[in-house]
Structure formats: C-alpha cells, structure tokens
C-alpha cells in the first residue's frame, strides 16, 4: 500500500473512532457512564440519575466481560435473582450521597420511601452511618447485599413501602 493511501486509512479510522465516541469500555472496574446516553438492561429506560445507577459485569475474571447497566439499584437484585439470572463477577452501585461508584457487595442499602426510577425504593451508601441516618429520615431500613438478594429471590423486593410520599 502506498504511503499516502496508508495515511488516508489511518485518518479515516481515527475519524470513525471519534464518531463512535472513541472510548473503549474497560473490561473490569466501574463503567464510564455518560448519563442520559445509556439504557437500563432490565427496563430499557434511560440511565439519567447518578444516585440510582448500578452496573454488573459478567465474565470479568476471564478477561472478556459483558456489562449490564441499570437505572435503579433494585433492578440488579431482580436480574441476579431471576431463574436464568446474571452471575456477576463485579457489582457496582452509586453512593447516593456522593454519586461515586462503590463495590456493590460491600455497600449499605436503604430501602424505604425513596423515589427511585422504577419505584423499588432502594439507595446504596458507602458508609453505615450515612445509611442509618437516611433510613431514619424516611422511616426505612438498612440492609446488606445478602438480605436484598434474599428479598429478591423470594419475590418480595418489589413489595415496597407506600411510594405515594416517597422522597
């Protein structure tokens, strides 16, 4: 191939990558989300609110992962508890206070009168103190990862507090 033609191929490739966003999703760790530009893996709604964003990675330990992004923290539990559920190698949730990604298995979850995107009423917190304070404000409860998984497996996760006065 001539040198001039090779340059054109390189320029066209770079333009194509720029048009596609150019960013390659990492195979491990929390995803790089552009809010309002991704849709929920479960409900198909736009992932708009960082307080409730969540993500699962399947197969990260093999070096080739599948990423599932959610607009409501509660939906990750519903998908994992489904009969043919996702078996994640990584779970990431946003801390409701800082909107920073935190590891989902170690998060402290508040369930109560919370106006979440799918009305599941769940927020995640990095610290137990913040979760306890929030639960007290809304008359909710603080749960760990395993407790929420148990609720989802029993089909009780969607049976939530009265959402009419959710905050």
DSSP assignment of 17-74, as one string? HHHTT-PPPPSSSS----TTS-B-TTT--B---GGG-EEEEESGGGT--EEEEESSHH
pTM for the full predicted model: 0.79
Q: Please report, in tens digits, the pLDDT of each residue of the chain (167 residues total).
A: 555 545 444 434 433 444 444 455 667 788 888 888 899 899 999 999 999 999 999 875 666 678 999 999 999 999 999 988 888 989 999 999 999 999 999 999 999 999 999 999 999 999 999 999 999 999 999 999 999 999 999 999 876 554 555 55
Task: State the sign of the Cα–Cα–Cα–Cα dihedral 135, 140, 145, 146.
Answer: positive
């Amino acid at each position: 191939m001539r040198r001039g033609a090779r340059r054109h191929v390189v320029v066209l490739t770079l333009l194509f990558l720029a048009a596609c966003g150019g960013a390659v999703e990492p195979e491990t760790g929390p995803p790089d989300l552009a809010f309002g530009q991704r849709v929920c893996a479960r409900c198909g709604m736009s992932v708009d609110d960082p307080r409730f964003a969540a993500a699962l990675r399947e197969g990260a330990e093999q070096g080739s992962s599948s990423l599932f992004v959610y607009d409501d923290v509660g939906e990750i539990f519903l998908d994992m508890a489904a009969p043919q559920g996702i078996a994640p190698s990584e779970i990431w949730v946003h801390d409701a206070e800082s909107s920073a990604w935190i590891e989902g298995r170690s998060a402290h979850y508040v369930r109560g009168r919370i106006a979440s995107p799918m009305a599941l009423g769940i927020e995640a917190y990095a610290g137990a103190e913040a979760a306890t304070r929030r639960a007290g404000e809304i008359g909710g409860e603080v749960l760990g990862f395993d407790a929420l998984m148990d609720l989802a497996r029993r089909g009780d996760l969607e049976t939530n507090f009265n959402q009419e006065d959710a905050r």
